[in-house]
Structure 1
Amino acid sequence: MCGVRRCAFADDLHTTSKLESFVFFLLSAILSEDRHVLNYTNYTVSKEHRARVKGFPDSLRIHRSKWFTHPNWAGRMQMPPYHIHYREEMQAVLAQLKDSLDAPSPEKQQQLLRRAFQYFERSMQGLAGHVNIEEHTVFPKYQRAFPNVDISFLYKDHEHLHEEEGKLRREFERAKLDDGRQGVLRVVQAALAFDAALNTHLGEEEEIVVPITLAGDLR
């Protein structure tokens, strides 16, 4: 005989669903990615971003494929190198969440879930510092270099990303009160959504700021 809690855990463990299969498919794909690359392109571009770029002057419409050979790439502070570890850290969080889903007991599941949250928390603390530098130092410098180009949306994009971060935090908190596999599965779904939002944000931001650093006088 098993206790009620362990029996419920075992029932959850052997439950298969299309949703769970899809979640594992996404996790496997993400965990197999090389996120240490400088030129990371595996993100979805929003319609709003496409419209913004179309409205920019030709001097700021430098395609990603031309960044790394541009004469101004070297010697100027570029954003992509600073973004690499945030992608890697979310990949690590997702790996730990997958381990939590695969845990053999509810106790181990909660232990791994706590570990994933601690890693996520440290990553978000670093991201908050990065955002602060961008908003108070980097973006104003870009705006001075191109006073006729509106980049205020960069601040709004940070607000949107913070909202997505909050959704994941709430699922982590909720899972503390729910030892079941389904609680962890909800955390994983929220983490996948945040990971996608983060990658889109970082990629779109690069598509805006790298051309500015390549074309502008940033003294």
Structure 2
Amino acid sequence: MLNTYKIRESDMPEEMRFLLDKYPRDEWDAHPGFHEKTRHWLGAHQMFRRVSERVRLDTEAVLNKDIALGDYIGRLSYFGGNLVANLHGHHGWEDHSYFPELSAADPRFDKGLDLLEQDHADLDKVSDDITRKANRVIKLATLDEAQSLEEANDVLPAADAIEAFLNRHLSDEEELAVPIILHYRLRG
């Protein structure tokens, strides 16, 4: 499904995880340089993971007739809309504020930054795709319920794609950024 979008499926190259061995993920929250701002940033990432999963699970549920179309439409509109809108805002803030700070602290960040910025551009394509498909399902729900339900079949691969994409991208982003934050005691 990710091939539809030509999105990088491989993990971030090891040379771009230059401080991860020194600052392993399971020790981040105990580090004295792990501050509330970093906790909030990681919390936003967890929210994106949960909401993208929710959109997929709800789509599977409506297709399996486990929830009514009307309930699905409300949930898709709410969760899907919030996911896409918040992703755009979050990634815009990272690109214009957060990433320049990390780059200034450690120029080695720039190698990984190129991948992350490409991910953000690719994520725009994935977001546009799920938005277009979800909007079609939502609009059809008032016009032709059977057609709307049929179109939900197109939402599922888009929901799968955004969930898989976010799981990989957010982990890469965290494993590049957080060790730099801890090493240089940033975001305090």
TM-score range, shorter chain: 0.7 to 0.9
Say if 1:96 and 1:113, in contact at 8 Å, map to a contact too. Answer: no
Q: Answer yes or no: is 1:131 the counterpart of 2:91.
A: yes
Aligned residue for 1:66?
Answer: 27
Structure 2 residue ranges without an equivalent (≥5): 1-7, 141-145
Aligned residue for 1:142?
Answer: 102
1:218 match: secondary structure: coil
Aligned residue for 2:121?
Answer: 159
Aligned residue for 2:157?
Answer: 189
Mapped partners of 1:104, 1:214: distance in 2 = 45
Structure 1 residues 116 and 72, CA gap change in structure 2 (3 angstroms): same
Say if 2:20 and 2:175, in contact at 8 Å, map to a contact too. Answer: no
Q: CA deviation at 1:218?
A: 3.1
1:179 match: secondary structure: helix
1:123 match: secondary structure: helix
- TM (norm. structure 2) is 0.74
Kindly name which structure, 1 or 2, has the bigger radius of gyration based on alpha carbons: 1
Aligned residue for 1:214?
Answer: 182
Aligned residue for 2:53?
Answer: 91
2:29 match: secondary structure: coil
Structure 1 residues 149 and 123, CA gap change in structure 2 (3 angstroms): closer
> How much identity, in percent, do the aligned residues show?
27
Mapped partners of 2:64, 2:43: distance in 1 = 33
Say if 2:133 and 2:155, in contact at 8 Å, map to a contact too. Answer: yes
Mapped partners of 1:139, 1:90: distance in 2 = 24
Mapped partners of 2:15, 2:99: distance in 1 = 20
Structure 1 residues 183 and 192, CA gap change in structure 2 (3 angstroms): same
Alignment of 1:33-44 (within 5 A): none
Structure 1 residues 204 and 182, CA gap change in structure 2 (3 angstroms): same
Aligned residue for 1:54?
Answer: 15
More helix by share: 2
- TM (norm. structure 1) is 0.64
Structure 1 residue ranges without an equivalent (≥5): 1-44
Query: Which of 29, 38, 44 matches 1:77?
Result: 38
Aligned residue for 2:166?
Answer: 198
Say if 1:60 and 1:215, in contact at 8 Å, map to a contact too. Answer: no
Structure 1 residues 111 and 54, CA gap change in structure 2 (3 angstroms): same
Q: CA deviation at 1:48?
A: 5.2
Say if 1:73 and 1:214, in contact at 8 Å, map to a contact too. Answer: yes
2:107 match: secondary structure: coil
Q: CA deviation at 1:74?
A: 4.1
Q: CA deviation at 1:73?
A: 2.1
Q: CA deviation at 1:121?
A: 0.8
Output the amino acid matched with 1:199: N
